[in-house]
Structure 1
């Protein structure tokens, strides 16, 4: 019997994510695209993958709640719940860009407890459990040891959805981040950005306008890999609620918070 923390939930998440990843790789229905909003795309693969994930989770845990992008827009933050993004990086997926993943995070009333981020086109499977560490393809991972922000590589995404932040003000923040570090990357998948922080591939990540299924799994990965996750300056709720996230290796977190603070008023308050 597997006695590791949340072994049963993690096993189901790994299995469900592998099923969704197979749909991503097969690309059946990738051309069936509709636009929920400007540049906010959904494909038949998103919908099929979320159904598959939900079915596998509920078969094992029928009393749990699924919080997902395509099948349920309800933001539930109590009880046993699963935050599911079946295809994080749908625009990338539509264009054949490889930064695409399935993100599954399980939480209970004590917070995030199990996480899987499966990126089939990169050959990477991340997983973590509360108190059990973080892993990439079965090997333990840790955040980077960079302590000087001037030597850091950051990741971000852009608030392209209406009402999710002032884009022009946000781009001024990005410009300052570029000037103060080695550079800034935009992969187009918040889940992968957080996984990259956990694996030490980037030192920090900042973004606004996200949904809980975008960040739930990745936040646990960063924490279990020794990093730090917080909200933005002035936020009164946690990132799962606000969709505003600052994540880092911990060593540059104070600098990252100060950077965000210098632009937060112009970008706008938490939604």
Structure 2
């Protein structure tokens, strides 16, 4: 199974990159916003269709949750969770920060995960109890010190969700004053992988979906990181998500989210 999910993510990442190259940057830059979205949707669906076809061919009884297709449930305890292109804005504008994210759950617990970032030539993977890897080399979170010495990352999907009474800007402004750097790379799955590899120290976001974080979450925890919701519980990503390089950073970061309460949709 581990070999299959790694190969599947790698092949899907190569397909996404090839489609990106075939579309061409100049056309995207001069086309309308609506056309930009149509092109990305086409690439999303082609990558997603490829992944689903490969899974269905080998494991026809398994359930599948994918960003574009939604949930195709089954009686099987196994569920594949797929984000065909995480980081669509980067994908549109020919920036490198996008990836393919695939996870396999058994009875609501993620067993295997793979994330392919084709432009960076990075394939992350993890298995429950088996550690986390990048290009088959073990990775671990790194403690760079307290928050003032740390680089943290976030995203702003909450703004696209239309939240007008609470959004990530207030947390961003507060943490920007305290952290060494606050970065916004544009892909939650990739943020989580980079945390696992010691490239950043923490990541938080407010309005994520299961397919955004299913693979990256396992990679983080297998690399020694800590994950919780923004109130310190386990209801993530529904109640927001905080991933850190360890318990000390988690405790520090949670202080900034004491007043957090997710808007009721």
Does TM, scored on the shorter chain, surpass 0.5?
Answer: yes
Contact map agreement 2:64 2:71 (CA 8 A) in 1: no
Query: Is 1:161 paired with 2:136?
Result: no
Q: Could you tell me whether the CA contact under 8 Å between 1:13 and 1:57 is conserved in 2? A: no
The whole-number CA distance in structure 2 between the counterparts of 1:74 and 1:200 is: 35
CA separation of 1:229 and 1:21: change in aligned 2, threshold 3 A: same
Q: Aligned partners of 2:32 and 2:125: how far apart in 1?
A: 31
Corresponding residue for 1:245?
241
Q: Within 2, Cα distance between the matches of 1:205 and 1:179?
A: 16
Structure 1 equivalent of residue 144 of structure 2 = 146
Q: Distance in 1 between matches of 2:183 and 2:39?
A: 21
Q: Does 1:80 align with 2:69?
A: no
More helix by share: 2
Residue 69 in structure 1 maps to residue 67 in structure 2: yes
1:221-232 correspondence runs (5 A): 221-232=219-230
The answer to which of 128-137 and 169-178 deviates more is: 169-178
CA 142–22 in structure 1, closer or farther in 2 if over 3 Å, else same = same
Q: CA RMSD in A?
A: 2.7
Q: Deviations over 1:53-95 (max 9, x none)?
A: 111112221111110111125799x931111001111111011
Structure 2 residue aligned with 1:175: 173
5 Å matches for 1:2-151?
A: 8=1, 10-26=2-18, 27=20, 28-29=22-23, 42-72=40-70, 79-109=77-107, 111-151=109-149
Q: Which runs of 5+ in 1 are unaligned?
A: 1-7
2 CA distance for matches of 1:227 and 1:167? 31
Deviation at 1:138, TM superposition (A): 0.7
Aligned pairs, number: 255
- Partner Cα distance (1:35, 1:217) in 2: 30
**1:208 correspondence with 2:209:** no
Q: Which residue number corresponds to residue 5 of structure 1?
A: none
SS across alignment from 1:99: coil
Residues 40, 171 of structure 1: alpha-carbon distance in 2 compared, 3 angstrom cutoff: farther
TM-score if structure 1 supplies the norm length?
A: 0.85
* CA drift at 1:147: 3.6
Give me the TM-score of the superposition, normalised by structure 2: 0.87
- Structure 2 CA distance for partners of 1:53 and 1:169, relative to 1, 3 Å: closer
- Identify if the C-alpha distance between structure 1 residues 147 and 214 changes in structure 2 by more than 3 Å, giving closer, same or farther: same
Give the Å deviation of 1:146: 2.5
Q: Aligned partners of 2:38, 2:204: CA distance in 1, in Å?
A: 20
Matches of 2:164 and 2:245, distance apart in 1:
27
In structure 2, the CA distance between the partners of 1:39 and 1:238, relative to structure 1 (3 Å rule), is farther
Structure 1 residue matching 2:160: 3-state secondary structure: coil
Query: Would you say the 8 A contact 1:12–1:57 is kept in 2?
Result: no
Unaligned ranges ≥5, structure 2: none
